[in-house]
Amino acid sequence: MDFVPQTDSSSRSQSCSEAESPTQSSKKRQRASLTNEDIIAAIKGATRSRRKPRIANKTPLTATHELRLLRAQVASMEQELRGLQSKWTQQLPDKRVLTSAQRTACKKREVAVTEAAHAELQEVHLQQQLMFATLQAAILRAPLHSSGQDILKSLHFDTRFGHDPEERSRMLSAHNERSLATVPSMMNRLTQMAVNKVLALQDEAQGSKSILPISQIDITGCKDYTLVTSVFMSEIPHNSVEDVYAAALAYHDAIPATMKRHFGVDATRTRLNKADAPAAYWRLTLDGVGLPANVNHILCSELTPSHGVIHMDAVLDDPLYPTSQPSALEFGISGLTMTPRKDPLTEELWL
């Protein structure tokens, strides 16, 4: 169980199935110029499709033909502009009045554009409000629950070291005692929550069928970070809890190699306390894929006849070994328990 706290276009064409008479065809060929509607339709058709527009006989328009259409459109717009200027001059012969009227018209257009944009934004805002209200109603009806915060509070002790060596040693020993005394029961509670969640969704027809393995990942948006939690439970058909416990410790020792092999991250692991200390104090330095970071961890482990436990917690405040500047990956912690059980029928030992 571990966690890491942390914004086709398509085109359509139309065709006509009616046959044209020779008289109609000859009349169309006699047209010497295109109307404004023809020009605008041709331009709009070109913008809607990435392919070159086609004329009635399905022949692609050449670049020269397209250029002629654009020139014709420009000439038509210029002619319309001259007509409007002439009307303004005829209606308002005084130059000062004409200038004032043109400015007023520009202001009116700006106001009209602004009002149109404002109305559109209000419509979008209303749609967003309706969507948000729908989501709120769905959340209230849905059985949504994240155990991320519970996992964080249970497995993160927030141990803080000082400068004095003896005090640091006492703090480390206290951390180790608390970890070994409380983590197994907390892990049992958290994993039971995962089991209950699966059983609540399980079909009654499945009966007593095993629900393992269980894998649940939750992502929780907190005030200033994102909390990613994972709960995984599985059965291991192995009759030696010692071997499984040793393999789990070896996995933690091989974290740098695993990070490099799977994620391309260069990681180095440095021991920060004595090898004979009750708990191991490590610094993990990561560099790669945009996640440069220095993270300090305390690794506590114990093997008893009833269970094996490995707890890795992060130390965020250590004046002797300060962590790096804030990065996308803040810190990670994990808790692992191994509980042997005997099959009631075969008496085979499982973990």
Q: Minimal CA–CA distance to 252: which of 208, 298, 287? A: 298
Mean pLDDT of the chain: 78
Q: What are the residues whose beta carbons fall under 8 Å from the beta carbon of 183, sequence distance 6 or more?
A: 155, 300, 309, 311, 335, 337
More confident residue, 295 or 35: 295
pLDDT greater than 60 at residue 284:
yes
pLDDT greater than 70 at residue 132:
yes
Return the DSSP state at 204. Answer: G
Structural contact between residues 28 and 254, judged by C-beta atoms closer than 8 angstroms:
no
Burial class of residue 286 in the structure, from the number of CB atoms within 10 Å of its CB (0-12 exposed, 13-18 middle, 19+ buried): buried
Q: Tell me the H-state helices in the chain.
A: 22-29, 36-48, 63-91, 95-141, 148-155, 165-201, 241-253, 255-263
CB burial readout 226-243, b (16+ within 10 A) else e: ebbbebebeeeebeebee
Measuring CA to CA, how many Å separate 153 from each of 49, 143, 149, 333? 57, 22, 6, 11
Q: What are residue 151's DSSP bridge partners?
A: none
Helix, strand, coil shares of the chain, percent, nearest 5, are 50, 20, 35
**How is residue 156 written in tokens?**
């993160």
d(CA 268, CA 286): 7
**How is residue 331 written in tokens?**
């810190």
Structural contact between residues 196 and 211, judged by C-beta atoms closer than 8 angstroms:
no
d(CA 332, CA 314): 7
Could you give phi then psi for residue 305, rounded to 5 degrees?
A: -60, -25
Q: Quick: pLDDT tens for 27-65.
A: 444 444 445 555 455 544 544 444 545 545 556 778 889
Q: Cα–chain-centroid distance for residue 27?
A: 62
Structural contact between residues 320 and 163, judged by C-beta atoms closer than 8 angstroms:
yes
Confidence of residue 177 (pLDDT cuts 50, 70, 90): very high
What proportion of the chain, given as a percentage, has pLDDT over 70? Answer: 72
pTM for this prediction: 0.56
Structural contact between residues 230 and 291, judged by C-beta atoms closer than 8 angstroms:
no
The pLDDT, as a whole number, for residue 235 is 85
Give 148-201+211-338's CATH code, choosing from 3.30.530, 1.10.287, 3.10.20, 1.20.120.
3.30.530
d(CA 228, CA 152): 10
Q: Quick: pLDDT tens for 185-235.
A: 999 888 888 888 888 777 655 656 677 788 888 887 777 778 888 888 888
Confidence of residue 182 (pLDDT cuts 50, 70, 90): very high
The pLDDT, as a whole number, for residue 326 is 61
The pLDDT, as a whole number, for residue 172 is 94
d(CA 311, CA 334): 6
d(CA 141, CA 139): 5
